[in-house]
Structure 1
Amino acid sequence: MRRPSVTRVRKMLLEEKQRLQADRARLLDDQSDRPDADYTAGIEDDGGADLMELERTRALVMTIDSMLIQIEKALLRVEAGTYGICEVCGKPIAAARLTSIPSAAMCITCQSRYEA
């Protein structure tokens, strides 16, 4: 498998960033339609379903924020000319990994060690 070109990588990362920012904005907009007071006021009535939904939304926003940070770091690596090089061992990251996870900062071996 060929390594993606820098231009293609930058485009993919920017598109993913834009999509995530839109998802984040939509989640926050949906959440703002119901102020926190509304969530806590109805806890006794519905068994806390509204509070659970609020927590779910907050968790999703935190996940999106983390993904956006990874994309920003990948864009910085593209600009620095270090994109596609494992930050741990310094070896090239497999093209298949970069295609499936464009923001990958580690090769699969180092990522597996990190997660263990």
Structure 2
Amino acid sequence: MSKEEKTAYSPEELKEFEEIILKKLQSAKEELNVLKESLSKRNDSGTGYTASTSKLLEDGADTLERESQNQLAARQQKFIINLENALIRIKNGTYGVCVDTGKLISKERLMAVPHTMQSIEAKLAQR
């Protein structure tokens, strides 16, 4: 049974992807807000200067934790931008088309990584 290769997803399929992306986007924004709140609370809870060794160690641990949260927040912001760009691609009709091969990205891949712009074949070829 030979089936013609699709070049684009149907409006119904695009609507399904859009709903998935919107849910992920809402969740990602909520997570980013939690991270930002946590970072601002950490910045507000500084204590006065003391030169004790334990205070220096505590400050070092706090700095490391703050840096880790900053990195998580940056990654979350990038994820949000990628999801928003995927919504734009849905609107302009280019969603689901691999930027490297020009072929349709599998539905399974888009369900797992809805903001991707590459088919699994193109992604693996990058390595």
Specify which of 25, 48, 67 is matched with residue 17 of structure 1.
25
Q: Stretches of 4+ moved more than 6 A in 1?
A: none
Write the distance in 1 (CA, Å) between the matches of 2:58 and 2:103: 54
Larger-gyration structure (1/2): 2
Structure 1 residue 68 and structure 2 residue 80: aligned? yes
Q: Secondary structure at the match of 2:42?
A: coil
Larger mean CA deviation between 43-52 and 101-110 belongs to 43-52
Task: Indicate the RMSD between aligned Cα atoms, in angstroms.
Answer: 2.2
Checking the alignment, whether the CA contact within 8 Å between 1:43 and 1:50 is kept in structure 2 is no
**Partner residue, 1:80:** 92
Shift of 1:37: 7.9
Write the distance in 2 (CA, Å) between the matches of 1:113 and 1:43: 50
**Cα–Cα, structure 1 residues 58 and 48, in superposed 2: closer, same or farther, change >3 Å?**
same
**Cα–Cα, structure 1 residues 89 and 36, in superposed 2: closer, same or farther, change >3 Å?**
farther
Question: TM-score when scaled to structure 1?
Answer: 0.85
Q: Which runs of 5+ in 1 are unaligned?
A: none
1:14-51 Cα offsets, whole Å, 9 max, x none, are 11111111100111111111217828x68614261101
**Partner residue, 2:38:** 30
Q: Which runs of 5+ in 2 are unaligned?
A: 1-8
**Partner residue, 1:90:** 102
Question: TM-score when scaled to structure 2?
Answer: 0.79
